[in-house]
């Protein structure tokens, strides 16, 4: 354990830092910046709908000087597209997973940092690069993407419909964001399961950490699915394929528009829970802290998170009830969706149980937590209506849906973000935020949020469609136009209210009251270290003796027992005595490197599920499919298969020698693996060249599209594997590396074998069948 | 707990041999002119056998705790579920097979 702060340059300490706390603050700043940008777009959207084709008050002249502050028709789709995309992927996700996850998880479990600090830093910079692309997309000819944040095809996939580079930059930005989130997910999972403080059982981890863990599970599982879809859209746009283009727009027959929707919502629905689970966990913890009571039904709450996490991945179809999907499939999705309400209701009841007869302290974080409860209740209950297939057909694409998802995704998340910032600010910066300003901020935000989003649902019931720039063009919407004006004004006030928060945030950073270790009288282990914590979080490794919610217990004039209190067992009646302490490592049979790699391989399995699954569906749905052996050179592909199998053998032999500490043999086999991998790639390039010259191109047929995309993606993985092997080969020149880091070599080997395994599948079902 | 019996170089060579043999059989089968369905079943079967051999021996699943199967097992189950759910909506819908 480190007990001294190492001396680092400014750049290493604050820009390219590997300290999870600094990285969390970087995420927070980027997230808040995009939150402000996305919020400003929301204001412009609402003002346009309220007073169509009139100059936008206050900021119109700044944003649209050429048009005198008026939003032009072609700009409006860009606004709602980028508002959605930015809010979901570049504001809320960085704040709740990047900032909240990074800051709280290692501290709350008593770890000194994340499992992979350098990966953590890279994760932030991938997000940063993605953010840059998103910003740049506003300034290219034809402007930013105007496809809707869902990027529905063929609107997004056909250049004939959307020729500008804005869509491409949006997709690439999202892809970089996805890489960033996946890196984070691998880190969170490994850190949580391998690095909890000694004594901390799984059931003694704070609910916030559980929320981050389950969100990471969902990210690792489902994000790659949409990543695969995004690459296929990009390929349709720029490489001439036709995965998601059909009809007159398609260069070749067989593309499937609906397939994109399945892939998108396969991730899109879990994304709701990816965002909300950390907030729910946080609220669960805060309600306990400020009710001075243990979290009611802690284990049931974690169980509900698990159930919600499991179900959320198999209900995506309820977003597509009006897509013309098979009614039987629709019914299955409806049933599964409604099932989610059961664990959600238990979750909510547990919150109420925590509050019941508590000594409630109405601090600012507590007020925001209660706010989350209120708005999520409305969002959750209105979700039930949307889940019913027969009703959804009527309200789909109306403001009912917009109001519903803004209650669940915007209102509850926004309030959750503020609960997080107000509660953790003292620990992050060593100063407290002003409580009076915070309370004014809460009251006004709560009022305006409800006035905007509830009104949305009301106008939706009048049949008000979403994504229209001028409701006055429709006779039947004129009776509710005054409500659009009302929403515009309330949105303006909501935006104005946030200046109170930004003022409080900046003012408190420099002039706020100095915070002690534990300004909230909280029991978690994190509140036993200084504010802000030292570089490696704890000066001595903490030992955990009880859960994080031991409140309402008389303890030397305090009403709580800290997790690190050695007398906790005596005071709380807990069974976690010294002789029964947990090691804090849930997977003792899997080292950290392999845990990280297996977490990563989960996402790889899902990435190839998106690609190979799409191929299977497109092929089986096609009226005809050529015989691959008549087009491909199967002998050459067979030789390539042999080469890759050989490389797996050489690598496994290398790992065998690494374990034995035989440096020379290890390097020999690593080099052989690199050479075989390179030979595979060389033959692949030759094969491509040969095929292309003989007319088998990417855009010539659906088979060509599938062949080049799948094998190309696999080839990129081989290339990545070669780079990793080269790094290991160089590093293994140092004898110490070979003996100390054999687990890293073995973990990298897992990746290589996985690549081999994917080729085995592709060879059989794509090249031979 | 971790399985104590660790693989040897001989066992790796044995697995490699099986993988090569199965690959040769696949190529031969693909050129025999078998009916499409039979070929599909055969190729998917041999591919799965090869996948299992790689996962069990080269990726050491056979020698780890049994709990490790949950890690690849969950995404693979979800992958199968996902693809199957697309069948009624896309495959049968397009080919009017229902």
Question: Average pLDDT per run of 10 along chain A, which is 769 residues long?
Answer: 63 92 97 96 98 96 96 96 96 95 97 97 97 96 94 91 94 97 97 96 96 97 95 94 85 86 94 95 98 97 96 93 87 93 95 97 98 95 92 94 95 96 98 97 98 97 96 96 98 97 97 96 96 94 94 90 91 66 86 95 96 94 88 93 97 92 92 98 96 92 95 97 96 81 90 97 94
Distance CA A677, CA A646 (A): 9
Residues in chain B, how many?
98
End-to-end CA separation in angstroms for chain B: 48
- Residues of A within 8 A of B39 (CB-CB) are 768-769
pLDDT in tens, A69-86: 999 999 999 999 999 999
- Residues of A within 8 A of B64 (CB-CB) are 589-590
Q: How many helices (H) and strands (E) does chain B have?
A: 4, 0
Alpha-carbon separation of residue A478 from A48, A49, A475 (angstroms) = 15, 12, 6
Q: In angstroms, what separates the C-alpha of B13 from chain A's closest C-alpha?
A: 7
* Cβ contact A620–B50 (<8 Å): no
Distance CA A317, CA A324 (A): 11
Does B89 score more than 80 pLDDT?
Answer: no
What b-and-e string marks burial along B68-81, b requiring 16 or more CB atoms within 10 Å of the CB? beebbebbeebbee
Determine the pLDDT at residue A333.
93
Residue A636 near chain B (CB below 8 Å) = no
Task: Report how many Cβ contacts below 8 Å link chain A to chain B.
Answer: 163
Contacts of A174 (CB under 8 A, 6+ apart): A85, A89, A130, A230
- Report the residue from B51, B65, B95 with minimal CB separation from A621: B95
Selection from A4, A216, A217, A209 nearest residue A110 by Cα: A209
Residue A409 DSSP one-character state: I
Contacts of A132 (CB under 8 A, 6+ apart): none
Lookup: tokens for A399:
């403001």
In chain A, the residue whose alpha carbon lies closest to the alpha carbon of B73 is: A602
3-state DSSP call for residue A554?
Answer: strand
Distance CA A223, CA A176 (A): 12
pLDDT in tens, A152-200: 998 999 898 889 999 999 999 999 999 999 999 999 999 999 999 999 9
Distance CA A81, CA A42 (A): 11
Interface with chain B: mutation pick from A202, A311, A603, A621, highest number of B CBs within 10 Å: A621
- Report the residue from B19, B65, B88 with minimal CB separation from A589: B65
Lookup: tokens for B42:
């055969």
Contacts of B20 (CB under 8 A, 6+ apart): A642, A645
Please say whether the beta carbons of A484 and A51 come within 8 A: no
Distance CA A763, CA A632 (A): 11
Question: E strands along B1-98, which residues?
Answer: none
Q: How far is residue B74 CA from its own chain's centroid?
A: 15
| Per-residue confidence band for B33, with pLDDT thresholds at 50, 70 and 90 | confident
Distance CA A26, CA A88 (A): 18
- Within a 13 Å sphere around the CA of A631, how many CA atoms are in the beta-carbon half? 21
Determine the pLDDT at residue B92.
65
* Cβ contact A754–B59 (<8 Å): yes
Lookup: tokens for B83:
């693809």
Determine the pLDDT at residue A600.
96
Q: How many helices (H) and strands (E) does chain A have?
A: 27, 2
Please say whether the beta carbons of A571 and A553 come within 8 A: yes
- Output the furthest CA–CA distance in chain A (Å, rounded): 85
- Within a 13 Å sphere around the CA of A332, how many CA atoms are in the beta-carbon half? 14
Q: What are the domain boundaries of chain A?
A: 17-511, 625-768
Alpha-carbon separation of residue A273 from A72, A312, A320, A591, A602 (angstroms) = 35, 7, 18, 29, 19
Whether omega for the bond prior to residue A154 falls within 30 degrees of 0, making it cis, is yes
3-state DSSP call for residue A145?
Answer: coil
- Report the residue from A617, A646, A764 with minimal CB separation from B90: A617
Lookup: tokens for A247:
């009809």
Determine the pLDDT at residue A479.
96
In chain A, the residue whose alpha carbon lies closest to the alpha carbon of B45 is: A764
Distance CA A767, CA A77 (A): 42
Please say whether the beta carbons of A732 and A673 come within 8 A: no
Residue B17 near chain A (CB below 8 Å) = no
Determine the pLDDT at residue A250.
79
Determine the pLDDT at residue B97.
45
Selection from A745, A617, A742, A636 nearest residue A683 by Cα: A636
- Within a 13 Å sphere around the CA of A461, how many CA atoms are in the beta-carbon half? 9
Selection from A537, A603, A710 nearest residue A180 by Cα: A603
Distance CA A742, CA A747 (A): 9
Contacts of B25 (CB under 8 A, 6+ apart): B46
A173's enclosing H/E stretch is helix A165-194
Distance CA A11, CA A22 (A): 12
Contacts of A344 (CB under 8 A, 6+ apart): A304, A308, A380
Residue A202 near chain B (CB below 8 Å) = no
Selection from A25, A2, A116, A42 nearest residue A452 by Cα: A42
- Residues of A within 8 A of B4 (CB-CB) are none
Q: Is the dihedral of CA A384, A390, A395, A401 positive or negative?
A: positive
In chain B, the residue whose alpha carbon lies closest to the alpha carbon of A764 is: B43
The class (CATH top level) of A625-768 is mainly alpha
Interface with chain B: mutation pick from A628, A636, A639, A764, highest number of B CBs within 10 Å: A764
- Residues of A within 8 A of B68 (CB-CB) are 589-590, 598
Unique residue bearing structure tokens 């053998």: A649
Distance CA A719, CA A674 (A): 10
- Residues of B within 8 A of A620 (CB-CB) are 87, 91, 95
Pairing of strands A551-555, A558-560: antiparallel
Distance CA A382, CA A403 (A): 9
Unique residue bearing structure tokens 């399961």: A193
* Cβ contact A598–B76 (<8 Å): no
Contacts of A648 (CB under 8 A, 6+ apart): A752, A753, A756, B16, B19, B54, B58
The class (CATH top level) of A17-511 is mainly alpha
Distance CA A502, CA A453 (A): 23
Determine the pLDDT at residue A1.
43
- Tell which wins on pLDDT, A569 or B90: A569
| Per-residue confidence band for B1, with pLDDT thresholds at 50, 70 and 90 | very low
Alpha-carbon separation of residue A70 from A49, A58, A60, A65, A474 (angstroms) = 12, 12, 6, 8, 20
Q: What are the domain boundaries of chain B?
A: 1-64, 67-98
Residue A136's region, left for phi above 0, alpha for psi from -120 to 50, else beta, is: alpha
Query: How many CB atoms are located within 10 Å of the residue A172 CB?
Result: 20
Distance CA A214, CA A217 (A): 5
Distance CA A189, CA A165 (A): 36
Q: In angstroms, what separates the C-alpha of B1 from chain A's closest C-alpha?
A: 7
Contacts of A339 (CB under 8 A, 6+ apart): A311
Q: Which residues pair with A543 in a beta bridge?
A: A198
Alpha-carbon separation of residue A26 from A93, A94, A123, A475, A484 (angstroms) = 13, 9, 11, 49, 37
- Output the furthest CA–CA distance in chain B (Å, rounded): 54
Distance CA A263, CA A670 (A): 37
- Residues of A within 8 A of B24 (CB-CB) are 638
Query: DSSP string of A87-142?
Result: IIIIIIHIIIIIIIIHHHHHHHTT-SS-S-HHHHHHHHHHHHHHHHHHHHGGGSTT
Please say whether the beta carbons of A532 and A430 come within 8 A: yes
Q: How far is residue A466 CA from its own chain's centroid?
A: 25
Distance CA A445, CA A263 (A): 35
* Cβ contact A602–B75 (<8 Å): yes
Distance CA A236, CA A459 (A): 37
Selection from A746, A729, A748 nearest residue A672 by Cα: A729
Q: In angstroms, what separates the C-alpha of A616 from chain B's closest C-alpha?
A: 8
Chain B, residues 21-80, CB within 8 A of chain A, namely: 23-24, 26-27, 29-31, 39-40, 43-44, 46-47, 50-51, 54-55, 57-60, 64-65, 67-68, 71-72, 74-76, 78-79
* Cβ contact B54–A756 (<8 Å): yes
Q: In angstroms, what separates the C-alpha of A325 from chain B's closest C-alpha?
A: 5
């Amino acid at each position: 354990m480190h007990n001294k702060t190492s001396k680092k340059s400014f750049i290493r300490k604050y820009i390219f830092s590997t300290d999870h706390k600094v990285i969390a603050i970087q995420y927070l700043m980027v997230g808040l910046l995009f939150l402000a940008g996305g919020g400003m777009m929301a204001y412009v959207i609402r003002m346009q709908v309220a007073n169509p084709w009139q100059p936008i008050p206050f900021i119109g002249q700044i944003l649209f000087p050429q048009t005198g502050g008026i939003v032009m028709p072609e700009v409006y789709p860009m606004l709602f597209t980028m508002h959605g995309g930015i809010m979901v992927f570049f504001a809320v996700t960085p704040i709740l997973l990047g900032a909240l996850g990074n800051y709280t998880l290692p501290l709350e479990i008593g770890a000194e940092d994340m499992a992979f600090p350098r990966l953590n830093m890279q994760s932030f910079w991938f997000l940063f690069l993605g953010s840059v692309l998103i910003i740049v997309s506003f300034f290219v000819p034809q402007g930013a993407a105007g496809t809707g944040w869902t990027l529905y095809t063929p609107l997004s996939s056909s250049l004939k419909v959307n020729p500008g580079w804005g869509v491409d930059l949006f997709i690439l930005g999202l892809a970089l964001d996805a890489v960033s989130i996946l890196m984070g997910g691998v880190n969170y999972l490994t850190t949580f399961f391998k690095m909890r403080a000694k004594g901390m059982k799984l059931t003694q981890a704070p609910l916030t950490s559980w929320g981050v863990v389950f969100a990471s599970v969902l990210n690792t599982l489902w994000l790659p699915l949409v990543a695969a879809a995004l690459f296929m859209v990009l390929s349709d746009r720029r490489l001439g394929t036709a995965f998601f283009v059909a009809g007159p727009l398609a260069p070749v027959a067989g593309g499937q528009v609906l397939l994109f929707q399945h892939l998108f919502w396969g991730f899109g629905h879990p994304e709701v829970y990816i965002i909300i689970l950390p907030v729910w966990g946080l609220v669960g913890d805060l309600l306990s802290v400020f009710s001075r009571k243990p979290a009611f039904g802690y284990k049931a709450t974690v169980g509900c998170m698990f159930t919600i996490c499991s179900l959320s991945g198999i209900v995506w179809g309820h977003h597509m009830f009006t897509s013309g999907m098979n009614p039987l499939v629709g019914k299955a999705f409806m049933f599964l969706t409604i099932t989610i309400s059961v664990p959600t209701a238990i979750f909510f009841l547990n919150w109420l149980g925590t509050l019941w007869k508590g000594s409630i302290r109405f601090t600012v974080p507590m007020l925001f937590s209660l706010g989350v409860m209120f708005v999520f209740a409305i969002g959750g209950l209105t979700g039930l209506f949307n889940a019913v297939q027969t009703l959804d057909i009527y309200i789909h694409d109306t403001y009912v849906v917009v109001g519903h998802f803004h209650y669940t995704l915007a209102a509850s998340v926004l309030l959750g973000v503020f609960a997080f910032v107000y509660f953790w600010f003292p620990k992050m910066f060593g100063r407290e935020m002003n409580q009076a300003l915070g309370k004014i901020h809460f009251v006004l935000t709560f009022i305006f949020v409800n006035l905007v989003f509830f009104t949305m649902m009301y106008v939706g019931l009048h049949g008000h469609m979403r994504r229209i720039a001028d409701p006055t063009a429709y006779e039947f919407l004129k009776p509710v136009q005054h409500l659009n004006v009302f929403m515009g004004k309330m949105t303006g006030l909501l935006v104005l209210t946030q200046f109170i928060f930004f003022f409080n945030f900046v003012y408190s950073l420099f002039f706020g009251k100095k915070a002690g270790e534990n300004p909230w009288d909280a029991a978690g282990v994190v509140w036993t270290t200084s504010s802000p914590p030292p570089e490696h979080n704890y000066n001595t490794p903490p030992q955990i003796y009880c859960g994080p919610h031991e409140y309402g217990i008389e303890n030397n004039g305090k009403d709580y027992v800290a997790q690190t209190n050695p007398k906790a067992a005596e005071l709380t009646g807990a069974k976690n005595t010294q002789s029964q302490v947990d090691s804090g490592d849930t997977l003792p049979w899997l080292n950290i490197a392999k845990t990280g790699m297996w977490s990563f391989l989960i996402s790889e399995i899902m990435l190839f599920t998106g690609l190979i699954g799409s191929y299977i569906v497109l092929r089986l749905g096609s009226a005809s499919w050529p015989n691959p052996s008549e087009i491909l050179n199967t002998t050459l592909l067979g030789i390539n298969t042999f080469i890759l199998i050989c490389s797996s053998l050489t690598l496994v032999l290398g790992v065998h020698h690494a374990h034995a500490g035989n440096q020379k043999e290890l390097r020999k086999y690593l080099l052989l693996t690199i050479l075989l991998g390179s030979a595979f790639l060389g033959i692949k390039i030759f094969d491509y060249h040969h095929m292309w010259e003989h007319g088998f191109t990417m855009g010539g047929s659906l088979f060509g599209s599938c062949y080049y995309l799948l094998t190309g993606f696999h080839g990129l993985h081989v290339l990545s594997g070669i780079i990793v092997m080269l790094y290991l080969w160089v590093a293994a020149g140092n004898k110490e590396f070979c003996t100390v880091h054999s687990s890293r070599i073995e973990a990298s080997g897992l990746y290589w074998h996985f690549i081999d395994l994917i080729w085995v599948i592709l060879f059989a079902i794509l090249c031979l069948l | 707990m971790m399985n104590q019996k660790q693989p040897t170089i001989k066992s790796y060579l044995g697995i490699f041999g099986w993988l090569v043999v199965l690959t040769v059989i696949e190529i031969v089968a693909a050129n025999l002119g078998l009916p499409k369905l039979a070929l599909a079943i055969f190729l998917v079967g041999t591919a799965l056998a090869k996948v299992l051999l790689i996962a069990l021996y080269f990726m050491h699943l056979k020698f780890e705790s049994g709990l490790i199967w949950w890690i690849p097992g969950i995404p693979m189950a979800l992958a199968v579920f996902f693809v199957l759910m697309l069948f009624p909506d896309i495959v049968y819908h397009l080919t009017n097979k229902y």
